[in-house]
Structure formats: C-alpha cells, structure tokens
C-alpha cells in the first residue's frame, strides 16, 4: 500500500523546493552567516580580551567559542525555518502539498530535510571562514564528525521549529514561542562558557539541556575538549533528534488549515 518509490519522489520534491527557494533568496544565506560572524569577531574579541589566554580549557576564547557559534547558527537558523510553514499556510501552497497522495511523515521529513540542508550550507561556509580566519584546524575525520553532529542537531531543531510552526497560526505567535524556546536552549548550553566550574544550580540546568551535548560533542571533535565524553554526547544527541522528529511529525499531522 505504501509505495516507496512515489514517497521518495515526493520527499525529493519537497526537499528540492526548499533548496531552490533558499538559493533564490541570497539574503537568507547572507543574513544567516553575518550574525554568527559578528558574534565571533565582536563577542569573541571583546570577551576574549579580558579572559586570560588559556583560561578556557587551554585555547583562545575565539576558538573556544567557535563550536558554540556553529550551534547558535543551527539553533537560530533552523528554528526560524518553521516560520515558513506558517507562510505556506497563509497561501494555499500548503494545501497543494497536503492534498498530494503522500504519507504525512514523508511531507514532514521532506520539509525537515530541506531546512536542514539550508542550515548545512551555512555551516559549511562558517567552517571555511573559521579555518581561514580563526585558525581552526580541520582534519578529514573532524570534518566528517562535525557534519554528523551538525546534521543530527539540524534535523532536531528544524523539526522543533516545524512543530511550533504547525501549531501556531501567526508569525507573531511563532516568534513569541520560539524565543521562549531558543534563548534558554542556547544560553544554558555552555556554548559561550565552559561548564566545568559552574555553580550547581546552573550546572544542573546545563546538564539537562540536550543542546549542551551538541556543543560538547563539537568542542570535543574540533578542539579536543570535552566534559561529558563523546559516547554520552552522541547518545543524548541521537535521542534528542529522534524525539524531536516524532514531536514534529505528530504536530504536522495535526496541522490546522
């Protein structure tokens, strides 16, 4: 009954549309890159100047910040992607997709993959800039592992964004809910500071935030610094991704037109 071939074609179509649209709006890409660069340059330099060299786990602060900024790019860019589902709702394009003889999970996954691909393109550009301007060293293994971590996180956060977009009816409502979600996820993740010497209350919060494990995994892979160890990082990250995809699919199936 489930025709794999046509589901795959549908998946490809939905993904391909996101990619085409993304490529046609260079402002999306540029905007998504400028912000993290500003963070790296301004925040990294500013805060870096008052932090003694070596105080953050033996690297300079800018380098220490780099994995956190990758995570920031994913979080803000991909969660925001959920907004497009609200814009699709405003015109009847969403109906055009929903009337297609495809499984709802296929539609959702195509959309999530589309958003993740956009995010991945941004990350690749940031990695290149990081290697050129911030002295980040990437080996082949580093690149592969970084991609795996980033892709898991991208799928998780895009799914979360799509879930919020499926439930909310207005862009304003979407903005409100996502800021409630995104700021704690980001600031309480250790993206900006090491998690080792925190007061207990903060450490507890950071420990239960799944995004902390993505930051830790990236730091481990790129800089060789880890607090939780890669196996735990991956376990949490994979679980987070699976749960978010399930939540997203669930919300998408209940989308109100």
Residues that bind another protein (CB under 8 A): 1, 3, 6, 9-10, 12-14, 16-17, 20-21, 24-25, 91-93, 95-103, 257
Residue 94's closest CA among 41, 166, 34, 145?
A: 166
The distance of closest approach from Cβ of residue 15 to another protein in the complex, given in angstroms and rounded to an integer, is: 10
- Closest to another protein by CB, 35 or 105: 105
d(CA 85, CA 188): 27
Residue 56 is classified by DSSP as: B
Asked if 120 contacts 151 with a C-beta cutoff of 8 angstroms, the reply is yes
CA-to-CA dists, residue 40 to 30, 168, 199, 221, 226, angstroms: 16, 33, 26, 19, 21
Min dist CB 101 to another protein, Å, is 4
- Judged on CB neighbours under 10 Å (0-12, 13-18, 19+), 43 is middle
- What's the closest the beta carbon of residue 59 comes to another protein, in angstroms? 42
**Rounded distance, CA 56 to CA 177, Å?**
33
Closest approach of another protein to the CB of residue 212, in Å: 37
Nearer to another protein, 98 or 205 (CB): 98
Q: Which is nearer to another protein, 13 or 232 (CB)?
A: 13
68/115 with CB nearer another protein = 115
Q: State the nearest-atom distance from the C-beta of 103 to another protein, in Å.
A: 7
Query: Is the CB of 94 or the CB of 191 nearer to another protein?
Result: 94
- Residue 25's contacts (CB-CB under 8 Å, 6 or more residues apart) are none
C-alpha distances (whole Å) from 233 to each of 40, 209, 213 are: 24, 12, 5
Q: Do 153 and 74 contact (CB within 8 A), yes or no? A: yes
Nearer to another protein, 12 or 133 (CB): 12
CB of 219 to another protein, least distance (A): 37
């Amino acid at each position: 009954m489930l025709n794999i071939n046509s589901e795959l074609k549908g998946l490809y179509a939905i993904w391909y549309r996101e990619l085409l649209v993304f490529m046609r709006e260079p402002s999306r890409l540029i905007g998504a890159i400028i912000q993290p660069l500003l963070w790296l340059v301004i925040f990294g330099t500013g805060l870096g100047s008052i932090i003694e060299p070596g105080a953050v786990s033996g690297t300079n602060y800018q380098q220490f910040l780099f994995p956190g900024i990758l995570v920031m790019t994913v979080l803000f860019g991909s969660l925001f992607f959920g907004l497009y589902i609200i814009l699709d709702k405003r015109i009847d394009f969403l109906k055009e997709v929903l009337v297609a003889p495809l499984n709802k999970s296929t539609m959702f996954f195509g959309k999530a993959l589309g958003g993740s691909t956009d995010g991945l393109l941004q990350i690749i550009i940031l990695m290149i800039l990081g290697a050129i301007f911030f002295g980040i060293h990437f080996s082949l293994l580093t690149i592969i592992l970084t991609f795996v971590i980033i892709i898991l996180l991208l799928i998780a956060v895009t799914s979360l964004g799509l879930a919020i977009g499926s439930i909310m009816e207005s862009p304003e409502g979407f903005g409100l809910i996502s800021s409630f979600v995104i700021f704690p996820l980001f600031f309480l993740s250790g993206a900006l500071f090491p998690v080792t010497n925190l007061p207990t209350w903060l450490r507890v919060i950071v420990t239960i935030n799944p995004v902390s494990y993505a930051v830790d995994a990236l730091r481990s892979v790129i800089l060789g610094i880890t607090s939780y160890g890669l196996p735990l990082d991956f376990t949490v990250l994979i679980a987070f991704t699976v749960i978010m995809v399930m939540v997203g699919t669930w919300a998408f199936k209940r989308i109100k037109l």
